[in-house]
């Protein structure tokens, strides 16, 4: 059973459209991170959310952490081709071995000009 269910797995949209990526779990997380990975590079941290109900904004990206700290979402407004990449949510659940970050399956986003 996947601890973090991420959806959708693939997303192809036109420049200017909005999109939301979801990350859901039945476990409670002490913190949750969102990363973006471009081809040939390692994942780069976008944001960490810690508090239930927290909302963080990073330019056109809005991140939410669920009140119960079991789910999170990433919303991109007016997507641009530069947003293309693999988006990963990851976190450490309270009931897992310390040191193990659980990753969602990732969302491959393609933004067409």
Partner 1 sequence: DTEVTQTPKHLVMGMTNKKSLKCEQHMGHRAMYWYKQKAKKPPELMFVYSYEKLSINESVPSRFSPECPNSSLLNLHLHALQPEDSALYLCASSTRDSGGTYNSPLHFGNGTRLTVT
Chain contacts with partner 1 (rule: CB under 8 A): 30-31, 33, 35, 40-45, 48, 50, 86, 88, 90, 92, 97-101, 103-106, 108
Q: Which is nearer to partner 1, 77 or 110 (CB)?
A: 110
Residue 102's H or E segment, with its range, is strand 102-103
Q: Which is nearer to partner 1, 35 or 66 (CB)?
A: 35
CB of 98 to partner 1, least distance (A): 6
Residue 21, SS3 per DSSP: strand
Give the chain's largest Cα–Cα span.
43
């Amino acid at each position: 059973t996947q601890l973090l269910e991420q959806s959708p797995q693939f997303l192809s949209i036109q420049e200017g459209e909005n999109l939301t990526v979801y990350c859901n779990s039945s476990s409670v997380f002490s913190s949750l991170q969102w990363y973006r990975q471009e081809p040939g590079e390692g994942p780069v941290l976008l944001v960490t959310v810690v508090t239930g109900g927290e909302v963080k904004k990073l330019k056109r990206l809005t991140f939410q952490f669920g009140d119960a700290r079991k789910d999170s979402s990433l919303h991109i407004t007016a997507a641009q081709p530069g947003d293309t990449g693999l988006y990963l949510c990851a976190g450490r659940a309270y009931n897992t071995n310390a040191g193990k970050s659980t990753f969602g399956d990732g969302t491959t986003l393609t933004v067409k000009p």
